A = this chain, B = another copy of it.
Amino acid sequence: MRKHNFNSGPSVLPKEVLEQASEAIINFNGINLSLLEIGHRTNWFVDVIEESKLLVKELMQLNNNYEVLFLHGGATTQFMQVPLNLLNENETAAYCDNGIWGSKAISEAKIFGKVNVIASSKDQNYNYIPKSFTLPDNTKYLHLTSNNTVEGTQWHQFPETTIPIVADMSSDIFSRQLNFNQFQLIYAGAQKNMGAAGVSLVVIDKNILGKVSRQISPILDYRKHIEAASLLNTPPVFAIYVALLTLRWIKKEGGLAEMENRANKKSSLLYNTIDSLPLFECAIKKEDRSKMNAVFCIKEEVLQNKFLEECKEEGMIGVKGYRTVGGLRVSMYNALSLESVEAITMLMKNFANKYS
């Protein structure tokens, strides 16, 4: 039985991506060598990274100011690399504190410069996105987390400002159509909508670089990675290849318009079910609910383990809330089928019938 995988990341991937990745470990592109055994400067691999970059540019409709990088590490590495590259010690960046990951990004930025926490929803357990705030003129950049994986909120409209926006899109990249050219830097760990853990996508408007005075280690300097076309050192070959396979799959399925369409269908079904069943509750403000990660709970807390047991019996995994938050969480990334959401909503209805 193939499981219903509601993991928050690493998470479900398209079956054909897994099959192609598995085959490439034995015989990459029919060359009788494993993907893991080829040099990263061979045409075989340079073709992989170049096609990946082109697909990112095409899917996101980026203009020519943007560079696309695939870097070692996850978004947590970017929490450090962003201020290291963009913020001088005496300068101020504005950060939105909308969840656990944004708050970690804030701690990191404070090591490198001044941080102005421009908006926070911490007082309400991060159950909404605070959207009205003023950015002082001297703000170097505005940092936000487009989707809060742990708390289940998502920015559905972004601030209009001439100040550069840096967005952590780890958990909703490639899930919807946006004007991506409104951001000057976008980063995302790959292990949700873009493939396997071990690589991050970084998209940068190159005009924002080269403006800090500190000496940056080459391996942490975006400019060095741009010069070297993501081959500054041995890149995470396998994770980049899985990203390529996933990007190809997204394009083939209909691109971001279709991903958005599917996310709308899946998340509507789930939230409508939650809202229609008095046993379940979603504390997130309706207009800010995430279409990737639905965070909710069972009002009668004693029933929660029972529900998780029933999920397990039905082959559903990843339904438990984040370890510091509790409750339930259903992640609905691109590769999750509508059938999986139908299955869990059916289970919820039956469960509510039994226990209400």
**Given A26-B19, A37-B13, A72-B73: A80 in contact with B220 (beta carbons within 8 A):** yes
Which of A201-209, A235-243, A264-272, A339-347 participates in binding chain B?
Answer: A235-243
Please report the C-alpha to C-alpha distance between residue A268 and residue B236 in the assembled complex, in whole angstroms.
33
- Beta-carbon contact of B10 and A32 below 8 Å: no
**Given A80-B220, A219-B73: A18 in contact with B3 (beta carbons within 8 A):** no
- Chain B CB within 8 A of A302 CB: no
- Beta-carbon contact of A238 and B77 below 8 Å: no
A128 CB contacts on chain B under 8 angstroms: none
A236 CB contacts on chain B under 8 angstroms: 197-198, 236, 239
Smallest Cβ distance from A193 to chain B, in angstroms? 13
- Beta-carbon contact of B191 and A10 below 8 Å: no
Nearest B residue to A199, CB-CB: B198
- Beta-carbon contact of A34 and B18 below 8 Å: yes
A77 CB contacts on chain B under 8 angstroms: 72, 219, 233
- Chain B CB within 8 A of A74 CB: yes
A5 CB contacts on chain B under 8 angstroms: 33, 37
Please report the C-alpha to C-alpha distance between residue A111 and residue B39 in the assembled complex, in whole angstroms.
30
A318 interface neighbour in B39, B195, B217, Cβ under 8 Å? B39
**Given A74-B233, A219-B79, A234-B189: A38 in contact with B10 (beta carbons within 8 A):** yes
Nearest B residue to A12, CB-CB: B37
Nearest B residue to A233, CB-CB: B76
- Beta-carbon contact of B25 and A11 below 8 Å: no
Smallest Cβ distance from A328 to chain B, in angstroms? 15
- Chain B CB within 8 A of A30 CB: no
- A18-37 interface mask toward B, CB cutoff 8 Å, 1 = contact, 0 = none? 11011101100000111011
- Chain B CB within 8 A of A108 CB: yes
**Given A74-B72, A76-B232: A39 in contact with B22 (beta carbons within 8 A):** no
Please report the C-alpha to C-alpha distance between residue A26 and residue B197 in the assembled complex, in whole angstroms.
16
- Beta-carbon contact of B22 and A239 below 8 Å: no
- Beta-carbon contact of A237 and B196 below 8 Å: yes
- Beta-carbon contact of B218 and A33 below 8 Å: no
Smallest Cβ distance from A69 to chain B, in angstroms? 14
Please report the C-alpha to C-alpha distance between residue A62 and residue B238 in the assembled complex, in whole angstroms.
30
Please report the C-alpha to C-alpha distance between residue A277 and residue B270 in the assembled complex, in whole angstroms.
74
- Beta-carbon contact of B10 and A237 below 8 Å: yes
Please report the C-alpha to C-alpha distance between residue A102 and residue B345 in the assembled complex, in whole angstroms.
58
A218 CB contacts on chain B under 8 angstroms: 107-108
Please report the C-alpha to C-alpha distance between residue A38 and residue B36 in the assembled complex, in whole angstroms.
21
Nearest 4 A/B pairs, CB to CB: A198-B236, A76-B233, A22-B25, A72-B73
Report A's interface with B, CB cutoff 8 A. Answer: 1-3, 5, 7-13, 18-19, 21-23, 25-26, 32-34, 36-41, 72-77, 79-80, 107-108, 111, 189, 191, 195-199, 215, 217-220, 232-239, 242, 317-318, 323
